[in-house]
Structure 1
Amino acid sequence: MPKTRKKKIPVTNTNKASSSSTPTSSRTVIRRFHVLLKKQGQLRNTSSANAEALGEIEREIEELGGLAAYQRMSSIGQGNDRGGGSEKVLMQWLIDMGLRKREEAKGKMRLLEVGALKPDNYRTCMSWIDTTPMDLRSRHPSIIEQDFLLMDEDENRSKWDIISLSLVVNFVPDPRDRGRMLCLAHSMLVPDGLLFLALPLPCVENSRYMTFDKLQSLMNVLGFTEVQRKWKKGGKMAYWLYRKSESDHKPLDEYRKKNVCRQGDRNNFVILLP
């Protein structure tokens, strides 16, 4: 009988994630989660789903520590010793736009922070921003446990001044759910509301199906006008701030199917309209 090869458990599998975790190990487990969740979603959406393959993927997800491990690694990456979270970029943009003074005239801005790993990311802005943090799996009583894609669209229509989707869209396995997430954000924002989008830079810079121009065109079709953009060559992250506007573009089939933009060794990140 052949010897069964024991599957190697990644070194990132630990229930004691702390600031001692290295940036490399954090990025490794996060990237692996993205791959596994994408495969899981693909198998679940096929009529002839391979139960054995699906079970193997789910076992590896558990070996990695489940969603809790992903959250721990992401939370560590937001620590001050790692340069802080993306909320610093958003807060500075809002300050530069003069919105800190808005409270005197219109009251606090309502911010929905999707994928919040900490309850107090915007504590320094409490005087002018009223933040509602939420995540798929809450790690704190002050974080609402909620799937953004399952939020009641009618109850939230034109409710939020700002919606933050930082390292959220790329974690959604289904490309069409990524597009639906952006559509929901547009519906939930007040007129002229702001959408903060943060993605790993390779999602746009090194994708087979996505480029900066393609993302810009897609956002215009959805009814978003770019206000700010920040990224640097060789960096790890890209940030955008969009203002809600009325779309005068008719959605085309090109946004509903994958179209190759680059050849070569690329990743497969894409956002598709539902």
Structure 2
Amino acid sequence: MAMASRKTKAKKFLPLLVSVSVLALGACASTGKDEPKSTVDPKGLTVEAGNLDNPVAAAAYWGGRYEQNPGDAAIAANYGNALRGIGSLPQALTVLSGAARQHPENADVLEAYGKSLVAAGEAGQAIPVLVKAASLNPSDWRLVMAQGVAHDQLGEHRLARIKYRGALELAPDNPSILTNLGLSLALAGKLPQAEDTLRRAMENPAAGAKARQNLALVMSLQGRFDEAARLAKADLPPAIVNNNIDYIRSMMAQPALWKQMEQLDAPADTRIE
């Protein structure tokens, strides 16, 4: 297969393989130093704070706090983030939309609301919310990165990359930003640049499995299946890796599928970076 042909096919295939909604949004719940170790829900059951790194524990804890004081902005933001963490997006949006109306100038509430909208596939609604949050907290790189995720979800990859590069100005070499930037480049069919960016992310030990798996995907889409398999097996069982590689290989060998996908493509984004 010629390199130009492979790059064209890879560009068309990427949106089917990768969901932008799984890009890191960087939110986590935190109790802070003054938070109590437990709370009591309206039924009289004690809800221990426990290990709030556990998404279910965090949702239970902040749910109890929210039942006691639903008007508190910090509690609502943490509860919304925790609900998003366990995939309860409708409930998260209900909590956070109400909190955003009640606290329209609270950056934490707007951040949590914007990220939940992105996770729910409502990127168009999320962008103005995240822009407002960033105007209230301009030093927070996570808010700029989240805007990039939203633009990627809308297929606006050039604008997304502008946001990621803006986030890197606030947090140079941050592996989460670099991972998202690398995937955005891949979604736009810029595979060599995507590979370089993901390798840069992996130079930081905090990059983790997401950067490795995205890099393995990009390598596969360039036809380097053996290298991709070796990298992917650092995190996944060999049988799963082999099945994934075989699937990508077989899909890339189907010209009829590529022709059908080209017909379904939206018009090209012609804006200048």
The alignment's TM-score, normalised by the length of structure 1, stands at: 0.29
TM-score by length of 2: 0.29
